[in-house]
Amino acid sequence: MRLAVAQFQPVDGDKEYNLSMMESLIRQGAEADAQVISFHEMCITAYTYTKDLSIDEIRNLAEVVPEGKSSQTLIALARKYNIVILAGLVEREDDQIYNTYICVDKSGLLAKYRKLHPFINPYLSAGSDYVVFDLLGWKCGILICYDNNIIENVRATTLLGAELIFAPHVTGCTPSAMPGRGYVDHHFWENRETDPVSLRQQFDGPKGREWIMRWLPARAYDNGVYYAFTNPIGYDGIHLKNGQSMILDPYGEVLTEIRSFDNHIAVANLTRDKLTLAGGYRYINARRPELYGDIIGKQHQSTTQPIWMASEKNSKK
């Protein structure tokens, strides 16, 4: 498979603009002979600003899938450029609203996944299913942002047959318990053309890439899967994001990564031989679930709230 990952700076709630930016990148992907292109979480609507939306506001933002306008636009773009497209939006089904990621080709909807651990807005419902689907002869899974932090989600998706996991994110450059993490000051972004080195140091340090590289290669390596990580560049709402969309192989090695501060794509070729040569393939076959099946499956109360949201709430009190 020849796969492209994309990054761009979205505009809050402006679906027409965001889709136009996506078309430009889709065109670039097609010109680079990519068969598939993947975008970030809720790229069609933007993400962070939705934290303050009322139930009516977020319901008005949501669309049915695949009959809605955004889904149909993506299908038309897939047909126009003869490329498979993966993108995120807010979905509405009956009274439920979801953070959803879809895969379409020229024939229509191929897959739909709802985020298992949504938190950005209190009116979003949690998804309840893993998704593994066929794409150009590959078994593919989807895990949205925080879903990838729970390692059981990655292992479960792999055990269901996934060879490639799409991981759309809006992440990085926010506070955490990890030393060195936090927001990136606006002046670094404002001066990115005159002082790109200082911004690159911020993005490559513990606030951005160093944090990503603590866990992302491990998810690919431990499970023997390819990983397509996507992330916006620039501002998503009030948060500056570091982009650095990348593709990793089953060894946990970075095959390609976007190093630009602009809207951009990166492309890599995925080969099947690595799936069985990588250590993760052997580790999965060496499992002894009789030892830990009951332990891993034990019931507990799940809570999902990143530190940056907790600290923001406290600052408003």
Q: Is residue 57 part of a domain?
A: yes
| CA distance from start to end of the chain | 50
Dihedral angle computed from the Cα positions of residues 185, 189, 195 and 196, in that order, rounded to the nearest 10 degrees: 110
Q: Is residue 227 part of a domain?
A: yes
Q: By C-alpha distance, which of 128, 86, 81 is closest to 110?
A: 86
Q: What is the CATH number of the domain that holds 82?
A: 3.60.110.10
pLDDT of 305 reads: 79
Q: Which residues of 12-29 are buried (b: 16+ CB within 10 A; e: fewer)?
A: bbebeebbebbbebbbbb
Q: Low-confidence residues of the chain, pLDDT below 50?
A: 317
Q: Is residue 315 part of a domain?
A: no
CA distance 163 to 158: 7
Query: Long-range contact list for 301-305, CB < 8 A, 24+ apart?
Result: 302/117, 304/117, 304/118, 304/119, 304/146, 305/119
pLDDT of 227 reads: 98
pLDDT of 117 reads: 97
- Give the CA count within 13 Å in the CB-facing half-sphere of 96: 12
pLDDT of 307 reads: 79
Q: Which residues of 198-220 are buried (b: 16+ CB within 10 A; e: fewer)?
A: ebbebbbbebbbebbbeebbebb
CA dist 35 to 19, 117, 153, Å? 19, 29, 27
pLDDT of 313 reads: 62
Q: Is residue 177 part of a domain?
A: yes
Q: Is residue 44 part of a domain?
A: yes
Parent domain of 105 = 2-292
Q: Is residue 80 part of a domain?
A: yes
Output the six-digit token pair for 36: 């598939």
Q: Is residue 261 part of a domain?
A: yes
- Tell me the per-residue pLDDT of 100-136, one tens digit each, with 9 for 90 and over: 999 999 999 999 999 999 999 999 999 999 999 999 9
Q: Is residue 301 part of a domain?
A: no
Q: How many domains does the chain have?
A: 1
